[in-house]
Chain A
């Protein structure tokens, strides 16, 4: 019991003492996300604290360390791009998720629908994401349709049309990948449990809903984490349909001052911070929803290798 509590509470508490690395990580995360949050607030409300895109402290403060001064100068503009990177990732994952559940369900349990789902998944997984974005943006005239919708491009908090197209593209794409991770997870739930659910009189759909899915979603977390990490990085492809996200901003600043290495290194640090945050959160989630008595997948593997 004590063991379970310490696991669900995160792993800060190691035998009553604090793990210094964990504490350091949390401080760094708080600093990073606190700063990002303030940047976003500042820019959304047209310069709440400082002028849009300007550093909170003048870069000249850090003259003694040129690399730091450089980072301080350009980080604010990249931070505005991080917002779009985060937005695209979260929207793609979140909207793709319910679609993925339906697709995975059809793949495993469907008859005709199985082939429809398979066709969709293979089409999306078999073609480049960039090509998909191009088709949506240039080929289908989606952007001119969205531009006509009320508010788009005129109200500042509503993103411009390219962002909408990217969100649609990532949703379509992520749904297919998430569906495959979910399918594997559904298939790893012992089919005897669904049989037992049917044997007490639950319908197939209720058996899936109350017995199979709650377990499959847990088992899907490691694979789903991969999808999240990929999407954070693949969201940079939105740059090619003019979305000013992190990669796009880094490359356009660099095209003016030619400091490609420095800017892409800085952008890389931002991506790294996003990915570390994501993996940390999903790992905590996995701990929190772990079924008592059943070892987590990585724990089982560790035991086997010993």
Chain B
């Protein structure tokens, strides 16, 4: 238990001339829920994608469970690091059940009956057992995102990445997704979450990282960052978020 589950050292990534990540350092212990916040273009999504190598880092080291991810087989790495997308990205031609089953069958090599059983369990876990045979286009956005979470969970990931999981959702559907994420956090899932949901951060996050211009400007427990941020930029950003949320929910 001494080693952190995830350790990121001096991570750098450029797209063309633009350096999007300019030396990122952080660690995650098992059961940690770390929330990444920051203005758009600050590199949050790129950071997540570097962790499961959907984007290849230019420089720096990332280790998962003591293993250098750059040396791992990329498919093997991704099996261990689940990802939930902003746009859900469900397989449109497959039912909810088959969306969850595909990885079990084709990546983990489960038998038909094992797959069936496990897919059922995961859909149950996100409260969608009764929608198992619905196709994505027949589900609401909130339901689709919960299937997306079940699909990721089925791979038994050591770490789950969430890339703005609720920002494509209508306000009234955000709650059901956040509550599933809250349950996962309570169950001890290690989660790295890009989100601007202050409520979720306040209740579930062990740490909050504030990303600005490709670096981590400030980090700490959410209450500390919300109440007494060190940097003016953090304060301004969080104040704007608070105002926005008050406008939305109030």
- Interface of A toward B, CB cutoff 8 Å: 190, 192-193, 195-203, 206, 210-211, 214-215, 218, 291-294
List the B side residues contacting A214 at CB < 8 Å: 93
CB < 8 Å neighbour of A293 from B102, B107, B137: B137
- Interface of B toward A, CB cutoff 8 Å: 52, 54, 75-76, 78-79, 82-83, 85, 87, 89-93, 102-103, 106-107, 134-138, 148, 151-152, 155
CB < 8 Å neighbour of B91 from A203, A211, A292, A293: A211
Please determine whether A199 and B92 come into contact, CB atoms closer than 8 angstroms: no
Please determine whether A197 and B91 come into contact, CB atoms closer than 8 angstroms: yes
Number of A-B residue pairs at CB separation under 8 A: 80
**Closest B-chain residue to A206, C-beta based?**
B106
List the A side residues contacting B85 at CB < 8 Å: 192, 195-196, 199
Q: Contacts A293-B136, A293-B137 known; A201 to B91 CB distance under 8 Å?
A: no
**Closest B-chain residue to A294, C-beta based?**
B137
List the A side residues contacting B93 at CB < 8 Å: 214-215, 218, 291
Shortest Cβ gap from B82 to chain A (Å): 7
Q: Contacts A291-B135, A294-B137 known; A199 to B91 CB distance under 8 Å?
A: no
Please determine whether A195 and B89 come into contact, CB atoms closer than 8 angstroms: yes
Known: A201-B78, A202-B103. 6 other contacts (CB 8 A): A193-B89, A199-B83, A200-B103, A202-B107, A214-B93, A291-B135
List the B side residues contacting A196 at CB < 8 Å: 83, 85, 89-91, 148, 151
List the A side residues contacting B155 at CB < 8 Å: 200-201
**Among the interface residues A196, A199, A294, which one has the most CB atoms of the partner chain B within 10 A?**
A199
CB < 8 Å neighbour of A199 from B76, B78, B136: B78
**Closest B-chain residue to A292, C-beta based?**
B135
Please determine whether B102 and A210 come into contact, CB atoms closer than 8 angstroms: yes
List the A side residues contacting B135 at CB < 8 Å: 291-294
Q: Contacts A200-B79, A201-B76, A202-B107 known; A291 to B137 CB distance under 8 Å?
A: yes
**Closest A-chain residue to B151, C-beta based?**
A200
- Complex-state Cα separation, A190 to B168, whole angstroms: 16
CB < 8 Å neighbour of A190 from B52, B76, B92, B148: B92
- Complex-state Cα separation, A149 to B76, whole angstroms: 51
- Complex-state Cα separation, A90 to B230, whole angstroms: 73
Please determine whether B91 and A202 come into contact, CB atoms closer than 8 angstroms: no
Please determine whether A200 and B102 come into contact, CB atoms closer than 8 angstroms: yes
What 3 pairs between A and B have smallest CB-CB spacing? A293-B137, A201-B79, A196-B89
- Complex-state Cα separation, A200 to B80, whole angstroms: 8
Shortest Cβ gap from B210 to chain A (Å): 26
Q: Contacts A192-B85, A200-B155, A202-B103 known; A294 to B79 CB distance under 8 Å?
A: no
Please determine whether B89 and A294 come into contact, CB atoms closer than 8 angstroms: no
List the A side residues contacting B102 at CB < 8 Å: 197, 200, 202, 210-211
- Complex-state Cα separation, A218 to B90, whole angstroms: 17
